[in-house]
Structure formats: C-alpha cells, structure tokens
Amino acid sequence: MNTRRYSPIDHLIMNVDQALRTLAGKPLVTERPDPATGVQQIDLDDAQKVEAARLMRVNHAGEVAAQALYQGQALTARLEKVRERMERAAQEENDHLEWCERRIRELGGHLSYLNPLWYLGSMVIGAAAGAVGDKWSLGFVAETEKQVVAHLDEHLQRLPQSDTKSRAVLEQMKIDESEHGASAKAAGGAELPSAIKRLMGLTSRIMTRAAYWV
Ligand SMILES: [Fe+2]
Ligand SMILES: [Fe+2]
C-alpha cells in the first residue's frame, strides 16, 4: 500500500500528467484484460462499422469526461479516504478508455476531436463537486454512474447485434460503473437535488450528441 503523503504541488503535477496521458498518451490502466480479447467477431458491413465506431466514440468521450471528473474531485476532495477512492476509480476508467479506443481503431473510426474540451469542462465540474464536500462529491459520483449505466443500456440496444466485441466491452463497463456508483453511495454519497440531476442529464446529452459526429 502506498503510504507516501503528497503535497498540493505533487497532486498538481500528477494531475497534469494524468490529463496529458488521457488526451495524448498512454493512460495508467489496471492489470485487467480487455473484455473483447478472444471474443469471436463476424465481419460487419461498412454501415455497421461506421455506426459502431460512432457509438464507441461517444463512449470513449464519456470515459475522457469520467477521467477528468474523478481527477477534478481528487484535487479538491477533503478526506484522504475519499481522495484515494477517486484516484482508484479514475484508474479503472482508464481501462474503459483503452478498451474503447482499441475497438474504435479496429472499426476504422477516430476519437472525438472535442476530447480536450470534454476533459477541461469535466475537470472543472469535478473540482467543484469535490469542493462542496465529500458527501455531495460522492453523491455526484453515484448519480453520474447511474446515468452512465442507463446510457450504456441504450447503446447496447443501438449497437449492431453482431458487434460482439464492442458489446463485450460495454457489458464489462456496465458492471464496473455500477460498482463505482454503489461504492460511492456506501461511502456516504448523498442524493442530489433533482434539478442538479436534470442538469447532469442535459450536459451529457449535449456531449453524447456532439461526440457521435465529431
Ligand atoms: Fe467508465
Ligand atoms: Fe465509473
């Protein structure tokens, strides 16, 4: 277990490092294998590939945002226990980031050109959530993950049935996101006001629509 205590400057440097890795480099991932590895995949036609790549691009952009949200919260969350939890969750989101990117490349698609924008915006939102207090910050994670699970269900409906590799990735992500949400709730996450929930839903709809095209 890592017992070193980091200064605010250490945290700042680690966050800049994390941002650059997310946007342009190799993210820090866990040891878990890509769920698509070894999954039998029949050939998709061109239209199916284009559609699947678009949907996976949306998911990848969502993971960029998730990464930044967690990093933003890690910057401002007060309790050391919560900060560690956020940093661990951020690393798991990196697995998702890598799995989605690999699948997009296989399908011949590209990442969202707006990723730096999603990252910056989400980092600010995450830092704000962390700053208002741990119970709200954890409540924010729980609500985010709940909305992500609903979104993944929708994408599992929309993805071509025959795209078994993308589906394997999304199924595992769904399991992880609901665990992230449940553990945030168990750690004391408060139920957010419904106006905030609606605003979060609206923001993610804007993001998912834009990332589908660019
Ligand atoms: Fe994720
Ligand atoms: Fe998550």
Residue 25 clears pLDDT 70, i.e. is over it:
no
- Asked whether residue 204 is domain-assigned, the answer is yes
Q: Is 184 inside a domain boundary?
A: yes
Ligand 1: distance of its center to the CA of 145 in Å? 8
Cα of 138 from ligand 2 centre, angstroms: 12
Q: Which residues surround ligand 2, an ion (CB under 5 A)?
A: 177, 180
- Give the pLDDT score at 3: 53
The pLDDT tens digits for 45-83 are 999 999 999 999 999 999 999 888 888 887 887 767 767
Average pLDDT over residues 97-120: 95
The secondary structure of 123-170 as a DSSP string is HHHHHHHHHT-HHHHHHHHHHHHHHHHHHHHHHHHHS-TT-HHHHHHH
CA 82, CA 184: separation in Å to the nearest integer? Answer: 9
Residue 26 maps to a domain: no
Long-range Cβ contacts of 166-170 (<8 Å, 24+ apart): 166/36, 166/52, 166/55, 166/56, 166/103, 166/107, 168/35, 168/36, 168/39, 169/34, 169/35, 169/36, 169/56, 169/96, 169/99, 169/100, 169/103, 170/59
* 162 occurs within a structural domain: yes
- The pLDDT value recorded for residue 4 is 66
Q: Which residues contact 102 (CB under 8 A, 6 or more apart)?
A: 34, 36
What is the mean pLDDT of the segment spanning 197-201?
91
- How many angstroms is it from 169 CA to the middle of ligand 2? 13
Quick one: pLDDT at residue 208? Answer: 92
* Residues in contact with 38: Cβ distance below 8 Å, sequence separation at least 6, in sequence order: none
Domain assignment present for 134: yes
Ion ligand 1: residues, CB within 5 A, are: 63, 66, 93, 96
pTM: 0.86
CA–CA separation, 208 and 90 (whole Å): 20
Look at residue 29 and tell me if it is in a domain. no
- Report the separation in Å between the CA atom of 63 and the middle of ligand 1, taken as the mean of its atom positions: 5
Over residues 135-140, the mean pLDDT reads 89
pLDDT at 109 over 60: yes
Q: Give residue 101's Cα distance to chain centre.
A: 12
At residue 102, the pLDDT reads: 95
Residue 11 pLDDT greater than 90, yes or no: no
Higher pLDDT pick, 84 / 126: 126
Cα 56 to ligand 1 centre (Å): 12
User: Is residue 115 domain-resident?
Assistant: yes
Expressed in angstroms and rounded, the spacing between residue 206 Cα and the centre of ligand 2 is 19
Give the tokens for residue 112: 């969202």
Kindly calculate the radius of gyration of the chain based on its CA atoms and give it in whole angstroms.
Answer: 17
* Domain membership flag for residue 35: no
Q: What is the pLDDT of residue 115?
A: 94
Count the helices and strands in the chain (H runs, E runs): 7, 0
Q: Which ligand is nearest to the CA of 182?
A: 2
Distance 28 CA to ligand 2 centre (A): 15
Query: Which of 5-19, 52-66, 114-128, 169-183 shows the lowest mean pLDDT across its residues?
Result: 5-19
End-to-end CA distance of the chain: 41
CATH number of the domain to which 206 belongs: 1.20.1260.10
Across 55-87, b (16+ Cβ under 10 Å) vs e yields: bbbbbbbbbbbbbbbbbbbbbbbeeeebbebbb
As for how many domains the chain has, the answer is 1
Residue 145, pLDDT > 80, answer yes
Instruction: Indicate whether 119 pLDDT > 80.
Output: yes
What is the pLDDT averaged over residues 86-90? 73
Structural domain boundaries enclosing 141: 8-21+41-213
Q: What's the gap in Å between 180 CA and the centre of ligand 2?
A: 5
